[in-house]
Amino acid sequence: MSLLETPRIAPDRRREHEAARLAKRLRHAVGRAVADYGLIEDGDRVMVCLSGGKDSWTLLDILLSLQAKAPVKFGLTAVNLDQKQPGFPAHVIPDYCRARGVPFHVIGQDTYSVVTRVVPEGKTLCSLCSRLRRGALYAFAEREGFNKIALGHHRDDILATFFLNLFHGGTLKAMPPKLLSDDGRHVVIRPLAYCREDEIAGYATQRAFPIIPCNLCGSQETLQRKQVRRMLDAWEREHPGRGEIMFRALCNVSPSHLADAGLFDFASLGSRGETSRPDAHAWLDGRDS
């Protein structure tokens, strides 16, 4: 071979190299999120919510790989909520967890019948399904003493939620990497917050996870979330890297350059020190109240 020729790499070796790089990128992204947001601490008992989809399998797999080398000691337990969907392969998750030596629990709760009975045909099922699922998982975490609940939401889920709230909810709100539940009793963490969905999908394929499709909501193609995701995918195709830029924006907020008077004290900005100010009604009425 001459000095000008490029060494050829066998296809199998190339695939192995690419797979190793992808795994390293995802582990690094999860490690950064854990460190940036304090997601996992020494002595934590982490409940990994395992649905059988690509995201939750990837979450469990990467946390297991990080657990062995982490600077702190923490426990991991996989928990699956069997919603009694018709045809659900109930053996898949237990079989996989036993093969990997992962502690696991399966919660049986027929949310499928509840959702399909209560929600009119053709309407979105996700909202009610999500509330029922969250309630069951929170109750189990409290009963079993888990202090962290890990979910498989990734960067693209967070961006989609932001735009859903922007377009339909009138709020600037997304999914935070770390969240205290409304009742203050549960800490929810999203270690995949820095991970791209396409890379998660590639990793799941490489690792040959036994993917279980969602028959309850997976076929609802007209959901607002799917419409937003199509919009984001189109932007990414036309302008590669836009998703990463938008996510960085969520991590770099300037309250003084928005318009939330409850978040930033605009009224005091440049004030001459008046002790009281007329309220909105006074301005509208043309007089002080």
272: pLDDT strictly greater than 80 = no
Q: Is 267 exposed, middle or buried (0-12, 13-18, 19+ CB in 10 A)?
A: exposed
204: pLDDT strictly greater than 50 = yes
129 three-state secondary structure: helix
Distance, CA of 119 to CA of 131 (rounded, Å):
13
Lowest average pLDDT, out of 60-69, 171-180, 259-268, goes to 259-268
121: pLDDT strictly greater than 80 = no
Residue 1 or residue 111, greater confidence: 111
User: Domains of the chain, with CATH numbers?
Assistant: 19-257 (3.40.50.620)
Q: Are 190 and 156 in contact (CB under 8 A)?
A: no
DSSP E strands in the chain: the ranges are 45-49, 75-82, 104-108, 148-150, 178-180, 187-189
191: pLDDT strictly greater than 90 = yes
pTM, full prediction:
0.85
Amino acid 242 reads R
Q: Which two tokens stand for residue 254?
A: 């300037």
Q: Which two tokens stand for residue 176?
A: 């935070």
Average pLDDT score over residue span 123-152:
82
